[in-house]
A and B are shown apart, each in its own frame.
Chain A
Amino acid sequence: MPDRTHDSHQDSSRAPVSQRSHTVQAAHTETGIGAHVTVRLDGRDIKVPFGTTILDVARKAGVRIPTLCQHDDLCIAGVCRICVVEIEGMRTLQASCAYPVTQPITVNTHTRKVRQARRHILDLMLANHYGECYSCWRNQNCELQSLADEYGVDSFRFGHPEKPRYEKDTSSYAVIRDMNKCILCRRCVRTCIDLQEVGVLEAVDRGDKTSISTFMDKPLSEVICINCGQCINRCPTSALAANDPTDEVWEAIDDPKKHVVIQTAPSPRAAIAECFGMPAGTALTFELNTALKQCGFDRVFDTNFTADLTILEEGTELLKRLHAALVQKDPSATVPQFTSCSPGWVKYLEHFYPEMIPNLSSAKSPQQMFGAVIKTYYAKLHGIDPKDIVTVALMPCSAKKFECNRPEMCDSGFKDVDYGLTTREMAAMIKEAGIDLPRMPKTDFDSPFGSATGSGVIFGATGGVMEAALRTVIELVCGIKVENLFDHARVLPVRGFEGIKYAELPIGAVGPVPDILKGLFKDWEWLKRATLKVAVAHGTANAKKVLDDIKAGGKFAQCHFIEFMACPGGCIGGGGQPIPTSPEIRAARARAIYSEDEAYPVRKSHENPAVLQLYSDFLTDGPCGHLSHELLHTGYTARGKYIY
């Protein structure tokens, strides 16, 4: 069982009202008097630890109880009531997700009362859900639809909305909200306030007027939404969706004048199989290349190429910062340096900690670096007018849609990345083209950016950027093989799903400055016997803890480099990934990513031959040089959290 990314039961002080879990403390010991209780569930005796919920008892016993508001990543709400069961001796039914067992009880999960109540609850939801299943992107993957099927709903006993009550909010580049589909399970509220601590969505009004809304009912584009899309991943219906540019992408493909290039990130490749009925953790990287070509993309590139490029740029920036701070004592050199490849995280910082923008690496994310390189270097190399190039990015992310629309992301002279597609949207396009992805033959990526390294691949999991950076920094600075320090180059201290990870790496001896950095550093003597302190946080709630600690001058203020990812689990848990999500699913996707890493012949970014080629042919003044500064680095906006 993987670690929970966020233990909401322990840390619930900021959770919204009803969602705060006031739970009975589970037994601390596995043995001893009172540590276990016996539950009679549908006639079977089951022994469980004190405080276990009836739902967990049922799951343990293999008894299915339907759920809607319950989600494994979130604290208990107990509001949808679909999971009610009958406890002998109790007048009313109890929500099994919220009822802790503290004494021997007899539970029945499908009595007349239970079946009738569940059916009525579904009827009531359907009477208020503007469901048009055939024109809904969640068709066949909707929890409400599945339950209607499971409970044999064949008519709308209490009516059905004939026209929408609410206007759809399509203001955001990333997340679309449609209250007409909402069943008020409040998973999004718990995700936004509790899991992510962003605080955009809450329940407003009361009674039958209750809805989920933003501050002052403003459009999503005007509030402090970071576009992480975690709410989309947890919505049981289509009340939340990503802003889908599929039509525009098809249009570009259909236009013979357009040269359509797609880059694919590692996380969608490790997850898209789920959209085709395969188990989580099945990587279809090379099958996808074939499918994309069949869809009509002219070139398929690997985002890992620019992930490696990011490591060189960001790693060099880090060394420069450290040199400025430690040797030159330059007060403007801000340490720790924060990673900048997660656009949800970047926007979080811009809103909530704008004063810490100087800590953010100026390196663009791999997606945006790729766009800039394609519309400059690649265009020149192949003699294509950049205005005819359409760059598409397959990302696990909804925030990438916002990122590519940032006004500053036009350093190539054009919009560097035209469209960001989510894993889900890509799967839909492939299905629309009649392609059975899992059965596709394998094809390699197109050159000149084809070759990638294992370091690029692991960007997808929390700790991956840090691991990739460490592999490179250790080798460039110490002049030794990273394998000497870490078995199989697995930098284990930064791996795993713990919310915040911290590691210290003593640098012993230093090596010579490699050619590529000779223009920037004379020697590494100043790093000799230093201890590199790094940290990794995923999920913005964890990021908040680290940032508050830095402000308070705590342990993390002493760090040199910190990786932040907006989404729990990192990109594999991104807001554009297949639905559903759970700790188990994210762990399976991470396993796929790490095994892909091990399969690469080259596993360190600075050894990527295509990247080295790019520096020798195009970015000739090296990492953090003039041209790379122009194309591969960016600035940020202090947004603040006030809305005027």
Chain B
Amino acid sequence: MLATEQLRLSAEIVELADRYGRDRCALMPILQTVQDRYNHISEFAMQEVANLLQIHPVEVYSVVTFYAFLKADTLGKFVIRLCRTISCDMQDKDKVARQLENELGIRFGETTPDGKFTLEWANCLGMCDQGPALLVNDQVFTQVDFAKVHDILEGCRRSFSVHPMPKGGH
């Protein structure tokens, strides 16, 4: 990471600590925001957060590795999380999975070489009545079939070319 980028990230984290507080309760909201903006929580970011909240970096790392949506490794701009829990499983989520892999040329747990897409499994998304379901970042898609997979990916690609740094929130 370049020194200027580090400085910017440090400043951002200070700003987040100002917003959410400097006690440990602020840890999750700060990490969630950093994850959102940077698609991962870097080694540097974890130490900055630890320093501001006066906890040990390993405690931040411990928290990051616990939660499925927080990652120390860089994810793609679009993280596709396909539900694999029972109801979606019974609604042929495997076929959707194959189609996603076919379209993107990667396996689950991987990121496309251009850094645009990451494929991950998710546990129950709470869309059991409309499965198979998947999340793209925090947008939910239901009753996904072959045609929809294509549309979803195309939609991402289009929005990527228009907004190269999509924000997670609405």
Chain A residues close to B by CB (< 8 Å): 14, 16, 193, 198-206, 213-216, 223, 641-644
B59 touches A193 (CB 8 A): yes
- Main DSSP-derived SS at the A contact region: loop
Indicate if B47 sits at the interface (CB-CB under 8 A).
yes
Scan residues 31-74 of chain B and give those whose CB is less than 8 A from a CB of chain A: 43-44, 46-47, 55-59, 61-62, 65-66, 72
Docked Cα-Cα span, A214 to B61, in Å, equals: 9
Report B-chain residues with C-beta under 8 Å of the C-beta of A205: 65-66
A199 touches B43 (CB 8 A): no
**A215 with B57: in contact, given A642-B47, A643-B47 (CB under 8 Å)?**
yes
Residue in A199, A213, A644 whose CB lies within 8 Å of B56: A199
Docked Cα-Cα span, A204 to B47, in Å, equals: 16
Docked Cα-Cα span, A215 to B56, in Å, equals: 9
Docked Cα-Cα span, A206 to B61, in Å, equals: 12
Docked Cα-Cα span, A228 to B56, in Å, equals: 17
Q: How far is the CB of A167 from chain B (nearest CB, A)?
A: 18
Q: Give the size of the chain B interface in residues (CB under 8 angstroms).
A: 14
- Main DSSP-derived SS at the B contact region: helix
Report A-chain residues with C-beta under 8 Å of the C-beta of B61: 202, 204, 213, 215-216
Residue in B44, B47, B59 whose CB lies within 8 Å of A202: B59
A16 touches B43 (CB 8 A): no
Report B-chain residues with C-beta under 8 Å of the C-beta of A198: 56
10 A-B pairs (CB sep. < 8 Å): A16-B59, A199-B55, A203-B62, A204-B65, A205-B65, A205-B66, A206-B66, A215-B57, A216-B72, A223-B58
* Among B47, B55, B65, B72, residue most surrounded by chain A Cβ atoms (within 10 Å): B65
Report A-chain residues with C-beta under 8 Å of the C-beta of B72: 216
B62 touches A202 (CB 8 A): yes
Report A-chain residues with C-beta under 8 Å of the C-beta of B56: 193, 198-200, 202, 215
Residue in B55, B58, B65 whose CB lies within 8 Å of A14: B55
Docked Cα-Cα span, A644 to B48, in Å, equals: 12
Q: A198-B56, A216-B72, A223-B58 given. 11 additional CB < 8 A pairs? A: A16-B62, A199-B59, A201-B58, A202-B59, A204-B62, A214-B58, A215-B43, A215-B46, A216-B61, A641-B57, A643-B57
Q: Nearest CB to that of B44 among chain A residues? A: A644
Q: Nearest CB to that of B67 among chain A residues? A: A206
Q: How far is the CB of B64 from chain A (nearest CB, A)?
A: 9
B58 touches A200 (CB 8 A): yes
Report B-chain residues with C-beta under 8 Å of the C-beta of A213: 58, 61
Chain B residues close to A by CB (< 8 Å): 43-44, 46-47, 55-59, 61-62, 65-66, 72
A-B complex: 8 closest residue pairs judged by Cβ atoms: A199-B56, A202-B62, A215-B58, A204-B65, A202-B58, A215-B57, A205-B65, A206-B66
Report A-chain residues with C-beta under 8 Å of the C-beta of B46: 215-216
Q: Nearest CB to that of B61 among chain A residues? A: A215
* Among B46, B47, B56, B58, residue most surrounded by chain A Cβ atoms (within 10 Å): B58
Residue in B43, B55, B65, B66 whose CB lies within 8 Å of A643: B43
Report A-chain residues with C-beta under 8 Å of the C-beta of B66: 204-206
Q: Nearest CB to that of A13 among chain B residues? A: B24
Docked Cα-Cα span, A213 to B61, in Å, equals: 10
Q: How far is the CB of A37 from chain B (nearest CB, A)?
A: 34
Docked Cα-Cα span, A216 to B41, in Å, equals: 11
Q: Nearest CB to that of B54 among chain A residues? A: A14
Docked Cα-Cα span, A477 to B105, in Å, equals: 81
Docked Cα-Cα span, A614 to B62, in Å, equals: 53
Q: Nearest CB to that of A211 among chain B residues? A: B65
Q: Nearest CB to that of B43 among chain A residues? A: A216
Q: Nearest CB to that of B66 among chain A residues? A: A206
Q: How far is the CB of A189 from chain B (nearest CB, A)?
A: 9
Q: How far is the CB of B25 from chain A (nearest CB, A)?
A: 12
Q: How far is the CB of B85 from chain A (nearest CB, A)?
A: 15
Q: How far is the CB of A195 from chain B (nearest CB, A)?
A: 14
Docked Cα-Cα span, A436 to B88, in Å, equals: 68
Q: How far is the CB of A418 from chain B (nearest CB, A)?
A: 33
Report B-chain residues with C-beta under 8 Å of the C-beta of A206: 65-66
Q: How far is the CB of B63 from chain A (nearest CB, A)?
A: 9
* Among B46, B59, B62, B72, residue most surrounded by chain A Cβ atoms (within 10 Å): B62
Docked Cα-Cα span, A372 to B65, in Å, equals: 46
Docked Cα-Cα span, A203 to B65, in Å, equals: 9
Docked Cα-Cα span, A206 to B62, in Å, equals: 9
Q: Nearest CB to that of A209 among chain B residues? A: B65
Q: How far is the CB of B28 from chain A (nearest CB, A)?
A: 13
Q: How far is the CB of A231 from chain B (nearest CB, A)?
A: 13
Report B-chain residues with C-beta under 8 Å of the C-beta of A643: 43, 47, 57
Q: Nearest CB to that of A198 among chain B residues? A: B56
Docked Cα-Cα span, A201 to B59, in Å, equals: 8
* Among B47, B55, B59, B72, residue most surrounded by chain A Cβ atoms (within 10 Å): B59
Docked Cα-Cα span, A643 to B66, in Å, equals: 22
